[in-house]
Every structure is written in structure tokens, then in C-alpha cells.
Amino acid sequence: MKSLQVFAACAALMLVAFASETATAGCCAPEPAPCCTPAPVCCPAPPVPVTFCVVDPVTCCKYPVTVCVPAECAGQIPCYVGCAKGFLGRKILTYKFECCGHCVDIVITKHGRVIVR
């Protein structure tokens, strides 16, 4: 019996809330917000190719390399950071573009093949 009384009380509260909402909706309805035009989305400039010369620290052979870097690095020559030994006798040379902080790894295989990472 008590649950029926609680149900009736909840139903009455909901009816009162709905009635007051519909009564005020006609005369005091807030105006819709003005339409906002979306701000233009600024996309970063596409990567640009940069060509520079890589020198093998062991054989002193020079290899021309072309890498794609962020647009702010266009026209810059990277600085040599270091060399590490890789798998199967490979040499991993790291170059850094100072202007944008972008690093590039160049892999030179023992047969002289150049791989850009």
C-alpha cells in the first residue's frame, strides 16, 4: 500500500512540473541562440622535401639524401647529431633541423644503400 502512495505522489509531482513547463513555454520561451559561423580550421603547411649530403663516418663516402620535413624547415641544412651501430652492420646517422627541432635518421647499409627513416 505504501508503494502505491509513493507512486501516486511521484506521478503528481511529474504532472505539476510538466504543467508549469508547458504553461511558461508559450510566453517566456527563450530565443534560440544566434547561429555562429564556424571558425576556419588552420591546417599546417604540408611537408616539403629537403636535399642534403650525408657522409658515411667510416668510409667517408658522400650520399645525397632527400627527406620530407615540416614547412618551417624548408631551405635549412640539418646538423649532424651522432651515429649508432645498427642491425647487420648498418650505420644509423641522426641529423637535426635546428630551426624546427625535427630529427631524421639515415640508415646506411654495409653495401652502401641509403634508407631514410
Average pLDDT over residues 6-23: 51
Look at the chain and report how many structural domains it folds into.
1
Chain segment 74-109, per-residue pLDDT in tens: 889 999 999 999 999 999 999 999 988 999 999 999
**Structural domain for 78, as ranges:** 48-116
Give me the mean pLDDT over the 26-47 stretch.
67
Q: To which H or E segment does residue 3 belong?
A: helix 2-27
Closest CA to 100 of 70, 62, 56, 60: 70
Any domain includes 63: yes
Q: Quick one: pLDDT at residue 22?
A: 47
Residue 5 confidence (pLDDT) above 70: no
Query: How much is the pLDDT for 39?
Result: 62
- Select the more confidently predicted residue: 57 or 4: 57
Q: Which pLDDT score is estimated for 64?
A: 95
Q: Is residue 61 part of a domain?
A: yes
Phi then psi dihedrals of residue 107, to 5 deg? -105, 130
Tell me if 34 is assigned to some domain: no
pLDDT tens track for 43-63: 888 999 999 999 998 899 999
How many CB atoms sit inside 10 A of residue 50's CB?
19
Q: Is residue 35 part of a domain?
A: no
Does a structural domain hold residue 105?
yes
Residue 15 has pLDDT above 90, yes or no: no
| Averaged pLDDT, 14-42 | 56
Whether 6 is in a domain gets the answer no
